[in-house]
Amino acid sequence: MTKYKNKDGTELNYTGNDVQSTLTREVVEEACKILGEYNRSDLRSAEWALHRGINFLKENFDIEEDYPYNIEFGNGRTKEDMEKLDTQCRIRAFNRNRSVEDQVSTIEEIEKKVEDWIDEIPNS
């Protein structure tokens, strides 16, 4: 990978041990950690890590500019899009490893099944 250079050809050099270089490296390392720690099989988890990592960098480097996509909901998605995606993910997770007759297609069905299971638990 090529090191980033600005339009004047200047690149960053944070190899020193002064306080500013050390702190900047720590902030960038923490951002990399945040961006890399998510459930690889969960789209919502990946979007959450991206959102958290970008906001972490914006906060620590005092960046206020607007980005070309909605960071809160990821890649231009609306709140409704994210709610639909969340619902789909929850239903898929519930149906995982269940027989076809035990699978559901709505959140309401999940809630009903959970209520039924709770009702089946004997009182201690």
CB-CB contact of 51 with 59 (8 Å): no
Nearest to 44 by CA among 17, 11, 75, 13: 75
pLDDT band at residue 74 using 50, 70 and 90 as cut-offs = low
Tokens encoding 93: 């997770």
pTM above 0.75, yes or no: no
CB-CB contact of 107 with 90 (8 Å): yes
Tokens encoding 99: 């027989």
64 pLDDT higher than 80: no
pLDDT band at residue 67 using 50, 70 and 90 as cut-offs = very low
